[in-house]
A and B are shown apart, each in its own frame.
Chain A
Amino acid sequence: MTTLPIEPLPTPARDDSARDRSGGVLRGRNTGDRSYRAVLTALALVLPLLLLTLLAELALSAAPAIARFGPRFLWSSTWDPVAQVFGAAPMIFGTLASSLLALALAVPLALGVAIFLTEFAPKWIRQPMAFLVELLAAIPSVVYGLWGIFVLIPFLRSAVVPPLKAVLGWTPFLQGVFYGNSLLAGAIILAIMVVPYIAAVSREVLLAVPASQREAALGMGATRWEAVWTAVVPYGRAGLIGAVILGLGRALGETMAVTMVIGNRHDIGLSVLQPAYTMAAAIANEFSEATTSLYLSALFEVGLILFVITVVVNGLARLLIWRVARGTVVGSRAL
């Protein structure tokens, strides 16, 4: 029995000369195109190299402290430059506490702004108001710190803390005497600072929700508010969570304003009226007075921890936002 010979399909003859003529211009085969691409690629490689050297340098400088203290560094709360014993727990706690407290204050505010500006505000007010809120992001950190020291803290001392203590003074969160520089002051400043970021990204996310979602809810008899709450917000949920996490990333790494109002004390306490410390503030305060190499190395380890945390937090936020508002460069719109 003979099998039918299966002929391979004739491949179409390649006309290389024609391809070169048409593709040469488009695909970058000529010298100008090739060098243009090479130059741009070289410039684009600067950022990955920068990140690599940054990571390597931080890890290298932190190595002595990592070798000396091991994982204990993360939960030990002794920070004694004289005895050369270092543990970053108070700073890690202070960083997380101030940032989370700031988010608790900022998220309702920022989501309110985003919902108002995309769904309810009259058309003429949307653009100017969005701009004004985003201007909050343009105020330099050190100016926030100045305002915090001379306006916010006196205001808290005279008008906010006394009534707060009168009502909720029995809780462990409001113990102790309020001198001014405190976790509370740091968290409020941080909250104002991250509102523009969360609001801007949330607004992008809400704008990306298809109109059909709104219309379907309205068509079923929902009020405008119900349409927002049952259709628009759930649709953009991943993106909104991303916006909040992005705000968290900002808050974690914020340095100057927090350093100026949080009190800078190595201590873990539940009371928001007491001074606290953050990782960024510790570096800002102590880096130039670090006299021994181990002290310096411990500060580098603090920097490394801070860096890794912000990278993880920001990466997570980007992934969530991309799922909703794909392709838009979120965040850069905030000034």
Chain B
Amino acid sequence: MTGLVAALSFAAVLALVLILGHLVAKGASSLDWSFFTKNPVPAGETGGGVANAIVGTGIIVGLAALIGLPIGVGTGLYLAEYGSGRLGWLVRFVADVLNGTPSIVIGIFAWTWLVKPMGHFSALAGSMALAALIIPMIARTTEEMVRLVPHSLREAALALGYPRWRTSLRIVARTALAGIVTGCLVGIARIAGETAPLLFTALGNLNFATNVLQPMQTLSLQIYVYATGPFDEWHRLAWAAALVLMALVLVLALSTRRAMRQRHGPAR
């Protein structure tokens, strides 16, 4: 039986290895200078790149982080500092509910709130949808990280006459900073790969665009369109774009793991 559970574990790891292996095998050969610097060419022609999607991903995810992180971290601090009451319970419960909400539902919600009134698709609406996804994640990880700070630190600061807000910000939050930043990076890695909430908000764009009030392309949208399209050339580009997106997510995940280990030591 020990052998069985060991085999099952290796099967799970094998799935990861297979997926990453295929990404490299099918995507790496298409990565060249023009892939990163050119925009897509019309269907049927060969060549072209995903420069617009890379820039678009940066803008949309960056904007989402700008909106979502302050609210998420603030909520997390609230939960850790004042979260023992009824409101704390409610916020915690709502965060967990929203964490499990299908992202496509957030997508159509953002459509009714932002796209429909504005009359056209926009990158901003996509960012708002992604922000709605990242807030509950950040709130819960921030709370967890702040709660790891030993009580003695807080008590020492209060005993020295520090007001509570300065204790919270300058002592507690600063001690937990590495953990909070890690949580934020994990959240950003997660939303960078999201597609469903962007389908009806950012929409996608074949041209290079930087105006956040207009439709914009992201890597994830581009992969979806290319993978489900009929052309071999598109499929080739889809694999390459997927490799780039995966590399981005992996770098974030690995760097956070390093930060966590330095902070808390090797966990259990």
Contacts and interface: CB of A to CB of B under 8 A. Distances in A.
Interface of A: 25-26, 28, 30, 32-33, 35-37, 39-41, 43-48, 50-51, 53-54, 57-58, 61, 108-110, 112-113, 115-117, 120-121, 126-127, 129, 131-133, 135-136, 138-147, 149-151, 192, 195-196, 199, 207, 224-225, 246, 249-250, 252-256, 260, 280, 283-284, 287-288, 299-300, 303, 306-307, 310-311, 313-315, 318, 329, 331-332, 335
A288 B111 CA distance: 10
Interface string B143-168: 11000000000000010010111101
B164 A26 contact: yes
A283 B12 CA distance: 31
A99 B238 CA distance: 27
Contacts of A120: 2, 5-6
A35 B164 CA distance: 11
A54 B78 contact: no
A64 B249 CA distance: 41
Nearest to A34: B165
Interface stretch (B39-47, B188-196, B206-214): B188-196
Contacts of A50: 94, 98, 132, 135
Contacts of B23: 143, 147
A61 B194 CA distance: 24
A43 B71 contact: yes
B79 A331 contact: no
B75 A139 contact: no
A252 B143 CA distance: 27
A46 B104 CA distance: 20
Contacts of B19: 139, 143-144, 147
Nearest to B139: A47
A133 B168 contact: no
Contacts of B106: 54
Contacts of B163: 25, 30, 32-33
B266 to A, nearest CB: 6
A307 B102 contact: yes
B73 to A, nearest CB: 8
Contacts of B8: 108-109, 112-113, 116
Given A25-B161, A47-B98, A147-B22, 10 more contacts: A33-B164, A41-B82, A48-B90, A53-B113, A109-B11, A116-B6, A139-B249, A140-B193, A225-B2, A299-B108
Given A138-B253, A140-B249, A147-B22, A43 B78 contact: yes
Contacts of B81: 37, 40
B60 interface: no
A31 to B, nearest CB: 9
Given A25-B161, A143-B193, A311-B97, A46 B16 contact: no
A54 B136 CA distance: 14
B24 to A, nearest CB: 12
A145 B239 CA distance: 11
B88 to A, nearest CB: 8
Given A28-B164, A318-B96, A253 B105 contact: yes
B13 A143 contact: no
B200 A287 contact: yes
Contacts of A135: 16, 250, 253
Nearest to B242: A143
Contact of B96 (A40, A58, A131, A314): A314
Contacts of A129: 9, 13
Interface stretch (B29-37, B48-56, B220-228): B220-228
Listed from nearest, the 3 A-B pairs whose CB atoms lie closest are A140-B193, A253-B102, A112-B8
Contacts of A26: 158, 164
A119 to B, nearest CB: 8
Given A47-B95, A150-B235, A116 B9 contact: yes
A288 B199 contact: yes
Contacts of A37: 81-82, 165
A147 B164 CA distance: 52
B240 to A, nearest CB: 11
A121 B10 CA distance: 11
A139 B223 CA distance: 13
B91 A116 contact: no
B158 A25 contact: yes
Nearest to B222: A142
B75 A146 contact: no
Contacts of B165: 32-33, 35-37
Given A37-B82, A140-B246, A146-B223, A57 B75 contact: no
B100 interface: yes
B120 interface: no
A254 B227 CA distance: 18
B168 A36 contact: yes
Nearest to B4: A112
B205 interface: no
Nearest to B252: A138
B16 A36 contact: no
Contacts of B192: 140
Contacts of A141: 193-196
A56 B57 CA distance: 30
A127 B264 CA distance: 13
